[in-house]
Structure formats: C-alpha cells, structure tokens
Structure 1
Amino acid sequence: MPKKKTTRILLAALAVLIVVALLVGLFVMMAGMTLFSSAAEQKRRQDAMNSGSMCAAPMISADGKFANPMVGPVTSPFGPRPNPFGPGVLPPGFTSEEQLTFHYGADIGRVSTGTPFYAAASGVVEGVEIGGSDGGNAIRIRGDDGNMWVYLHAADGTTVVKQGQRVEAGDRLAGAGETGAAKGVHLHLAVKQGPEEKPIDPVAYLAAQGVTLGQGGPTPVESAKKVGASSPPASEKSVSADAPLMPGGGTLRVPLPSGQTLPLLPEQQRNASVIIGVGREMQLSDQAIIIALMTAFQESSLLNLASPAVPESLNYPHDRLGVNKASVGLFQQQHTMGWGTVQDLMNPELSTRTFFEGHDNPGAAPALGLLDLPGWESMSPGVAAQTVQISSFPDEYHKWENTARFLLENIAGADVAQCHSGPVKEGEETDPEAPNDQKESSGEGSDTVTVPEGITRESIVTAARSGVGGEYKWGSAEFKSWDASGLVAWVYQDQGVQVPRTAPWTVGTRTESPQPGDLVAQDWNPDRNRWEHVGVYVGQGRMVSAVNESTGTREHPVTQTGSDPVYFDILGGQ
C-alpha cells in the first residue's frame, strides 16, 4: 500500500477517534448537568423520602428561594368574600365590615392545631406579635424579594423565630392556630408588595415562582426529561432510559417483564406508596391495589406527568412532562373525558381514588372506576385495568402484574392523611381519649328529633344530591347558597327532620356502620368542641357537602375533605 494512502487512512482514523471522544465528553457533561445540576435539590428530595413525607411533592422551589408554607387546601382565596363572621358582625380589632369582605391574603385550612407552617420566602423577621386582636399571634418577614410576608393566627406557644432572625424558605416558623379574629384553625398568608406594601394574591405570586400554595412545589421543569405514556405503549426502555435514577435515589430494584431489574426513582417509589396507602385506607383487596399499580406503571411509568397540551397541569406539582396530549397524572386520565378537574388529576392521592371510585358528572355519564365495574374481582388484572382505562393498547397492562405484586410486597403504603395536613412530626402523638372527649364536649346525642312517617334514606340522599352545584356562602342555609352545616340543615329540614343549624350531631347517634342518609362529621376541633366540616353520606364512601367558596357543593369521596370521619344516624335506624 502506498505510504501516502496509509498516512491518509491513519489521519482519518485519528480524526474519527477525536470526534468520538468529543461526543462522549459532551454526552457525559450533559448527563452530569442533568443528573448533578443541583446537589441541594437532590438532597432535599432524598430527605423528603427519608422523612416519610410520601404524599406531598417537594415543597421548595427550584431556586430554593420560595416554598409552600403548609400542606392543605386553600379554604379562602384572595379577593372579595362574604363577611366570615356574618353580615354586620365586627370582631375585636375591626372598625369596618369592608375589612372583612375583601380578603387580603389566602388561607390554608382543614388542619389541626399546631400543624407546623414554614417560611414561604427567604428573608429577615421584622416582627413577632403575640396576642394581636385581629391577626392573633403574627409573624412578619421582609423577604429577599422586597415584599413583606405576613403569617397570622399562629397557635399559642408555637412560634420559634424572633425579630431580626434570618430565615430561609422552608424554615419552620410556628404552628397553625385560631388566635385573633379567626373562624377555625388555619394559616393566613399575606404578601405585601414593595415599599408601599400593596396587598397581592399569594397564590398567583407563588405560582409565578414555581410553587403551588398548599400543595408543595413542582419538580424543576427545565431538568425533567419527557416520558411517554400509553400512546405509544410504555416500554421498558421508556422506564429505564427516560427516567434515570437520580444520584442518591432509591435502591429498590423491581423486576421488569423481560426478566431484568430496574432501580426505582424516589418519585416512583413515592407514587407507588401513595397508591398502596390509598388502597389500604379504603380497605381494598390486594388485587385492587395490584391493578392500580399495573395501570400506573403502564400509563406513566409511575410518574406524575404534566402535559404541555394541558397548560393548567404545569401549575401543579409533577415529576416529568408527558407527551400523551390531554392525558395527565399517574393514570393519564383526561379532564375532558369526565375524570375530574386537572387539579385533582395532578394530585396522586386524588387521582388514585378516582381510578378506584370513578367520577360523577352531573348531567352527563359518569367516568367509571374499578369499583364501579360489575364482577371486576373475577376479571384478570389486565382486563380489569383495560376496562377502566379503555386504552388503544388493551394488551399492554397484563405484563406489569409481577412488577405490581413485587411493589405491593416491598413498599409500605403512605399515610394518606399526610397529603392534607403534613406528616406527624417525631414526638407528636394523637390522643387516644379524643373520641370520649368528643362525645362529652360536643353534646352528641344530647337531644332528640322527630322523624316524620314516610321519610326514607333514599329521600335524604335525593335531597342532598339536588344541591350539587350550589355555591358556598358562609352563615347561610338557603337552597344552593349555604355553608357546610347550612346544607345539612336544609337537606334534613326539607324532609321534615328539624336538625339544629350549627350542631346537627346533637340529635344523632354515632354509628360504625354508616348508611346512606347519615350525617358525616370531620375535622374535630378540640378548642371549639365541634367538628369543622359536615355533610350527608350517600353511600360507597362518598358524601355531598359544601366544600368551600372556590369549590362549592359537590359529591366527593369522604376522605377528600378531611380525615377521621365520624358518622351519625339521624333517622333512628330507619
């Protein structure tokens, strides 16, 4: 071979090697940027896993400057509202009803006294007020963003910060309470913008920072890889290649249909734990939980997926971006197909309940869940999953059965109550005597009521369902314009049963075997000796209640509005 030709070949080979080396180096660098871009973020994720906070998504924003202060529903948003104390009522500290009919902050409620809340923004504590007449125990922090952050109604003796102290987003401040002018235990968060301290909407402001008030903060979108869902069918490649294990992530390896094993991401383990926890709380069989796990693995690779085709979904906590158009969440359901709101579908706990229980759509056909299917127990798990999902790829679910069984055997179910009020902190315990205290202090069963002849449980349920779609109006008991106890009073009184307006349990008998038409009471408040939420039980684990101003009156799972429900038979065993 001529010498010049040999030289050219060697030079060409050398050039190829250099290009390959550069590409490999670039790939490694990009992978490193993706996987190691934020050691603090990764540590926070792992700390969240280790702490047992399995239901909530990470609560710190991607840049670490903002946080969700407390997990729970926004019970009263920023803006106009009725006077929460009743028309014309002015509690101490207020000189005008106008101060009460426009809400200059946002409330996170349905939590117990002392539930910890945290700094929503980094900054310096400018003031700690104890015993104020309007806001009660208050904390004011000048944020690094230039805004004043105000936290009101903290429980007595829970404040752990002092004036002049530096706090970072996510640092503990105090516990939720009912001090000052308050209706129930909650955190009132206010944001006052700039030197003028102009009140602005905390929900909208935090959303712009990547945090959803009450629900935690989303995984950073910029570092999230896209994951395919059921179109095309999920494959082992999509799980292993598109959902790489984060450094320091989970070590549990799960068997795949091919016989290979794959280490789970912390997000995948968290979501599996939620599915198992919901199933256990609902007292469902292992078979039902396995079907749900199979479905979630096939649809989303056990990741809570948002979709660019559904912009609203990007506002809620999510693990990755999906590519299946209008489908979102763990089970890739569509809000346009009657599976519920985008917000509910992006909540792993609620979307799991919806998979099991379906979703009612007044005036339209319901979306049927697993428990709605006659004879689902006798179906093969893959067929049962397909019957719920109605997928274009009906034969893809069955292959995940062994994987799902392994998950059920090796992952503990999350305490789904944590999804509403946060994890129980070390050293905190529940009072085993609380039920007896409730019986004595609430006055339950202390009175009687006459039930007219001909009144049936079915008529009570029909009356309750006639109110679905009504507005929430505090202090009112008018048809479709009521608060929670107002709805209950209207329903029973419409049928001739004269229950008390604000304490209907006083004419009921506690029951461990609820039937349609019974009273549901939730969220016992020992400071007020009463339950904070009530509704009418309609069967199959569901109730009708006036939830809040933003949601109105709806039929929903009992567990959606509170934990530890107590049931009362108002109709005397009829």
Structure 2
Amino acid sequence: MLKIVLAATAVVAVITIAVVNGVSTVVNQTTAQDDLSIRAVSCNASIGPWEGGGADQGKNAAANLTEEQRGTVAKIISIGQERKLPPLAWQVAIQAGMTESGLRSLNYGDRDSLGIFQMRPSQGWGLASEVTDPVYAINKFYDVLLLVDGWDRMRPGDAAQAVERSGFPDRYHQWEGMAAFLIGDLGKVADPAGCGAAAGGNVLLASNAAEVTIKFMKEQLGEPYLWGGNGPDAWDCSGILVKAFAEAGITIPRVANDQYMSGGAHLPVKEAKAGDLIFWATNPADPVSVHHVAMYLGDNQYIHAPQTGDVVKISTINWDYPELMPLAVRPGV
C-alpha cells in the first residue's frame, strides 16, 4: 500500500544505459571523455537474485503465474523499454507489483488502495480511474522510483520499499528471483542474474578503477591492522577499501556489510575480476552478518587487512569456505 507521495517533477537519469542486442551496457559518465578508459559491461550485474539458489526458485515461481499476471509483467517491461529505463527498474516494479497485488490491477485494497501497486487516490497518486489503469500505474511507479535518490544502487526490494513505504519493508525481497527470471524470459535480457556464462566471460570494469585501487592497496602491504583504522598508517578491512576507491573517484560505504549491500553492482563471486570486492559473513544468507571484506586480485588471490595483530597482505581464497558470500561487488558500476 502506497502511503507517501513524492512530488512529481521532471526526472533526469543519472546513468546512461544503452541496450544493444538485449544486453544493457553501462557507461561511466565520469570517464566519457576518455574513450580508452571506457569499457562495456556485457552483463547485468546489478540485477538479482542476490542470494544463492535464487535462480531456480525464481523460475519455479514464474511458472505459476497466470496469463493475466504475465501480461502485467510484459507491460512493466515494455513501458520500461519505451522509457529507456535499465532492466533493474523493471525488476523493482515487478517485485513491487507482485507483492502489492499479485501483478493484477485490483479495484479494491486496504482503505482506498487500488491497482497493480495499490496506489491511494486520497494520497495524491491519481484518480481511481487512473491508478486502476495499468499503463498509468506503471508510468506513475517509474516516475516516483526515479525520484528516489540512489535507487539504482539499492537491492531491488529496497528500492520497491522506497516507493511503496510499506509497514513490512522486507517483503519485497521474496520475489527477487522470479523478477530476475522474468526479465530474462519476457524481457530478453541476456544473463539477468549476473555476469555468468551467458556473458561469455567478457566482463570488464567501466573505467580504470581496478588499476588505481589495486595500486593503492599494494602500496599499503605490511601496514598494521587497526579496528576502525582509516589510515594513513593503520587500516581495518573496510576502511582501506574506502580510501582505495576514493583514489579512483568512487565513493563506497564505510562498513563492510553496507559495502556488500550498496557498494556497487553485484555478480556471482566466482565470476569476480581484479578490483572487485569479496565478502565473508557468519550467515551468507544474511548480508547484515557480513564481517570481512577484501579486494580480489585475480588468480585466486586477494588483498586485505585481516585482523588485530596482522598486517595488510595478499592471501589465497578458499572458494568452498562456508562463510564466503555468494556474490561479489563491483563499485563504480
């Protein structure tokens, strides 16, 4: 149920997305004047599912949709394409619609909530005849989503909550895998769950950020670990990465679990490239429990500030370690 209305204004997208052969290519505008430093991301790393095993669950959930529900998804995708919005926006709308109405344009709801997204006419979302019109409702949802600061860096369910303002903020996550599957199935987006085999392994950073950040990290080798350390002579695991990416003009959150949840685009950890962030958690199914972060260097090596009594060093990754998070993060994408 939508409770809070954001003022309708003209919206200017802050990222550029070009869709070529169904694959979204992200262009880092800060390096647009230097053609040599711009590289394509031939995958959709910011699209979920964000948890291991979500792909099969999503496919099974999508198989249970009715013709009406799939028709609503098709409208969400087609309008998103017409508006040149990235597939991540489609995913947010699909998850919100499935949660609020089961992807149906309802003529009833809590209090005066109506339509796919349960918009309330009394709260300024439009007339009853408008919010029950799927085309109007989908466009209105996108209008408000684009006004949410940083929506394109949020987990899709969190972005849906930022629009819907539900009293149950975590419920949008349950449809993450299904929405990602539908983007690939109905939206014809290659490899919607991340940067896997369908991307042909051709995954590169959007700028020279990896080179800059790795250089900084290696310059700190041997510096002592200090809990809460922000340098210049002592570091903790997340503080050193904040500084490393700042050297490349990229801002990431200070704390490790925030770096996981909103530090950049996500991709399967085993598809990580040099400069990506990898994480460990006491419960890999719960991002809040992330307790350590490092920078992947390639060739099964990573650099990090490990723990009290240790120093910044390069270690070898154990891909089967039970606390390794299933996804890596690519800041700046």
| Structure label with greater radius of gyration | 1
TM-score range for the pair, normalised by the shorter chain length: 0.3 to 0.5
Structure in which a larger fraction of residues adopt strand: 1
Structure in which a larger fraction of residues adopt helix: 2
- TM-score (normalizing by structure 2): 0.38
- TM-score (normalizing by structure 1): 0.22
